[in-house]
Chains A and B, each alone.
Chain A
Amino acid sequence: MTVKAKVRTYVLENYLFTDDQSALNDDDSFMKLGIIDSTGILEIISYLEEELGIQVEDDEMTPENLDSIENIIAFVSRKSVVSST
């Protein structure tokens, strides 16, 4: 599974509680859709750190890095080598 697919599934299952891929677009803003609240963001950070081995610095906890599938993938690519097989 690609990293993007993994992250999509993670968000769909843990915030939208569905496996329907069409329920979320890559560029949908989590904040605007109210999918993730202020405490929920800590869960995403934990996921990135545990499952993808990324270290998220304090000043990296921004919507620019975390607020959509696209943003997360871009952030993850910057922080590590991404395998896309």
Chain B
Amino acid sequence: MCGIAGIYDTNCLGQEQRMTVLNMLELLKHRGPDGVGVYSDNNVILGHARLSIIDLNTGKQPIHNEDQSIWVSFNGEIFNYIELRHELTGRGHTFYTQSDTEVIVHLYEEYGEAFVEHLNGQFAIALWDKKLKKLMLVRDRVGILPLYYYKDRNKFLFASEIKGIIPALDKRPSLNPSALDQLMTFWSPVSPETIFKNIFEVSPGMMMVIQNGRVREKKYWDWLRENDGEYFEDSEERLAEQLHDLLLDATKLRLRSDVPVGAYLSGGLDSSVLVSLIHHYGGVPLRTFSIGFEEDALDESKYQKEMIDHLSTEHSQITCRNIDIEQNFNETIWHTESPILRTAPVPMGMLSGLVHEQGYKVVLTGEGSDEVLGGYDIFKEAKIRQFWARFPNSHVRPLLLKRLYPYLDISKGQGQKYLQNFYGVGLDNVDVPYFAHIPRWTTTARCKEFFSDNLRCQLNDDALEVMQKSYPEMLSHCKPFERWQYIESKSLMSGYLLSSQGDRMLMSHSVEGRFPFLDHRVIEFANRLHPKYKMKVLNEKYLLKKAMKQYLPPSIIKRYKQPYRAPDIPSFFTKGNSSYVDELLSPDRIKAYGYFDSKRVELLLKKIKQGRAISYKDNMTFVALLSTQAWHDLFIDSYTRSEQSIVPCSIRS
């Protein structure tokens, strides 16, 4: 994995723009600490910052085809590169490196823009066809790797992270108010918007073609069962077997590397599945990594230990103390480039730091399983609510909700009524595609009560309408469960989990993550499973558990799903007071940045300092406010202070 950046222009590019690209790459150094390469001609400059994983000796980028008429700068991995290379050499192509990257230019020679359909991998690609003067920007199917762009009349810029684009802008970046409104509802802006005005992302599954100064887009893949695709009719046993085989193959492919590969082991079902598959495949020594927490309720160490003993892995763990979260928060926001709604990314950054320290560059990790195979509580909740909605006045039906949250601290009797009320929201809206998401979005949206009048004035569109407009028409033909999965994958998963909590935290310490559950063949297979195989009544990831039963200790299979969480408010007030918080949330700063109402913020802070803020909502609001202020300081304010650039934030020692 690496960092890419570049410029396209219909006018003549020269030395000055080459310098600009080098400046852009400089800010992406954490993604590619092993060296830099640039290709340039009159109309395009492709830049690359390398993290060497495959072909350590000759895989330097950008890479070209036989006659140097096609060039690529690539961030990611193509896991089926060996098979593709074999096919391409069979068709007469000549390779000059051992890298996976090189298959791209030759595939393009064979198939044109359709080359991407042949790739099994995770990627952000900038491909330049010199003869046609055509630039193609492509992002992988689900958004594992990032790719952003900016365009105006004079130029087109792109980079792996937004911080890579900022040095090439002519003016100070600014907040996109609608995007903040969307983030504080859906946990991320609706693609292709970002939190930065006029900077966009290439959406997952999308190819952008820039030619003659014009831009066109084509979607090459989406997360939906093909039109009128039938559900599989095979027996449950046969399907479990197929799922197992697919996952095993997806895992094997992702072990291809010239450097050692490790795995994240949370103690939950998904990482345990992966680690078991790696163990049974047997090709590599098994090295696992995990986080432990100070707070008992969040700590999963006991289950991690079970898997470690079960498979005799060599394991390293880092313990995240509350104070670590405070100390690493600012740097985390530097890497997320975005406000966040909980502190969970911070320990993920610490974890990749541990991996890096131990000399590893690659880890396999279990994200995506919940979205693909039906794991989230949000899906369970939705099923219960659907069941309840048939008889909204029932007292008995909502009691099922209690089964969902035995670990939540509402053991005192009538907390039930309040849970019911929370989940009862939108019961009359069973048919809308986002039915499953109503409770979460409603709670999150309460953060917006803190918006300043000034910010509110700048909101021209309704977040929910924008979200709905982004759905493909086909979504309404899908079963409810599938609609919920689609929305979850598009909003929370690609917009937050894979980015702020995933790629950004991995790359902060130059570590590449690989996601077997997000192998597109696994997704396509799962999309043709009847929903009952994903959630059998309320048993989540039913088929996955069946497929992996032989490998895992029963306690892991039976284990109650514990969502990954890190402490929020408590992290900042371990010593009673936090000068970091006091500074960023001071009335002066709040007013200076203009996003929030300073009186409300003062009252929230007062409540927090009195030790009264224990609700989920207050914790989320606090993190949202603090991270937005930190974001503005790092990306907007600092631009002015440092004379048109931004300064990388590094760990406080």
Q: Smallest distance from the beta carbon of B445 to chain A beta carbons, Å?
A: 9
In angstroms, Cα B409 to Cα A37, docked, is: 13
Whether the pair A14, B603 counts as a contact (CB closer than 8 A) is yes
Q: Within 8 Å CB of A62, what residues of B?
A: 414, 417
In chain B, what residue has the closest Cβ to A35?
B446
Decide if B443 is an interface residue (CB 8 Å cutoff): yes
Q: Is chain A's interface secondary structure helix, strand, loop, or mixed overall?
A: helix
Chain A hits for B415, CB < 8 A: 38, 41-42, 61
Please name the 9 residue pairs, one residue from A and one from B, whose CB atoms are nearest each other, closest first: A58-B413, A40-B615, A17-B600, A38-B418, A61-B414, A39-B615, A17-B603, A31-B421, A14-B607
Cβ contacts A45-85/B at 8 Å (1 or 0 each): 01100000000001111110000000000000000000000
**Are A59's CB and B414's CB within 8 A?**
yes
Once bound together, how far apart are the Cα atoms of A36 and B443, in whole Å? Answer: 10
A-side interface residues, number (CB < 8 Å): 24
Question: What residues of chain B have their CB less than 8 Å away from a CB belonging to chain A?
Answer: 408-410, 412-415, 417-419, 421-422, 425, 442-443, 446, 449-450, 599-601, 603-604, 606-607, 612-618
In contact, B603 and A18 (Cβ under 8 angstroms): yes
List B contacts of A47 (CB < 8 A).
612
Across the interface, A38 reaches (CB within 8 A) one of B410, B449, B600, B601, namely B410
Chain B residues with CB under 8 Å of A60's CB are 414
Given A37-B418, A38-B421, A39-B408, 18 more pairs with CB closer than 8 A: A14-B603, A16-B449, A17-B600, A18-B599, A19-B603, A34-B443, A36-B615, A37-B617, A38-B408, A38-B410, A38-B415, A39-B409, A39-B410, A40-B618, A41-B415, A42-B409, A63-B417, A63-B421
Instruction: Decide: A18 and B412 in contact? CB cutoff 8 A.
Output: no
Partner of B612, one of A14, A19, A63: A14
Task: Tell whether A13 is near chain B: CB-to-CB under 8 Å.
Answer: yes
Q: Check A31 against B418 for contact (C-beta < 8 Å).
A: yes
Question: Can you identify 29 A-B contacts, CB atoms within 8 angstroms?
Answer: A13-B606, A13-B607, A14-B603, A17-B449, A17-B450, A17-B603, A19-B603, A38-B410, A38-B415, A38-B419, A38-B421, A39-B614, A39-B616, A40-B615, A42-B409, A42-B412, A42-B615, A43-B613, A43-B614, A43-B615, A46-B612, A47-B612, A59-B413, A59-B414, A61-B412, A61-B413, A61-B415, A62-B417, A63-B421
Bound complex: CA of A37 vs CA of B408, how far in Å?
A: 13
A40–B606 CB distance below 8 A: no
Whole-angstrom CA separation of A62 from B618 in the bound complex: 22
Question: Which A residues, 1 to 36, have Cβ-Cβ distances below 8 Å to chain B?
Answer: 13-14, 16-19, 31, 34, 36
Compute how far the CA of A16 lies from the CA of B603 in the bound complex, rounded to whole angstroms: 9
Complex Cα distance, B410 from A26, in Å, reads 26
Residues of A near any B CB (own CB < 8 A): 13-14, 16-19, 31, 34, 36-43, 46-47, 58-63
Please give, as numbers and ranges, the residues of chain A lying within 8 Å of B413 by CB-CB distance. 58-59, 61
Give min CB distance, B291 to chain A, whole Å.
Answer: 24
CB nearest to A20 among chain B residues: B599
User: In whole Å, how far is B377's beta carbon from the nearest beta carbon of chain A?
Assistant: 14
Q: Known contacts A38-B419, A59-B414, A61-B412: does B615 contact A18 (CB below 8 Å)? A: no
Q: How far is the CA of A55 from the CA of B129 in the complex (A)?
A: 75
Q: Which of A16, A19, A38, A62 has the most CB of B within 10 A?
A: A38
Q: Which residue of B lies closest to A18 (CB)?
A: B600
Residues of B within 8 A of A43 (CB): 612-615
A13 and B613 CA atoms in complex are apart in Å by: 12
Considering the chains assembled together, what is the distance between the CA atoms of A19 and B597 in angstroms? 13
Docked CA distance A58–B413 (Å):
5
List the B side residues contacting A14 at CB < 8 Å: 603, 607, 612
Chain B nearest CB, measured from A4 CB (Å): 20
Within 8 Å by CB of A58, from B414, B601, B612, B615, lies: B414
**Residues of the B chain whose Cβ atoms lie less than 8 Å from the Cβ of A17:** 449-450, 599-601, 603-604
Which of B408, B421, B449, B606 neighbours the largest number of chain A CB atoms within 10 Å of its CB? B421
CB contacts (< 8 Å) of B603 on chain A: these are 13-14, 17-19
Known A-B contacts A13-B607, A17-B449, A43-B612; A38 and B422 likewise in contact (beta carbons under 8 Å):
yes
Least CB distance, A21 to chain B, in whole angstroms: 14
Cβ of A16: which chain B residues have Cβ within 8 Å of it?
A: 449
Name the residue in A14, A39, A40, A47 with the highest tally of chain B Cβ atoms < 10 Å from its Cβ.
Answer: A39
- Give min CB distance, B427 to chain A, whole Å: 14
Question: In the complex, what distance in Å separates the CA atom of A16 from the CA atom of B449?
Answer: 8
Asked whether, in the complex, the Cβ of B616 is within 8 Å of the Cβ of A37, the reply is yes
Residues from chain A with Cβ under 8 Å of B446 in the complex: 34
Residues of A within 8 A of B422 (CB): 37-38
Contacts of B408 in A (CB 8 A): 38-39
Please judge, given known A-B contacts A14-B607, A18-B603, whether A37 and B414 are in contact too, CB under 8 Å. no
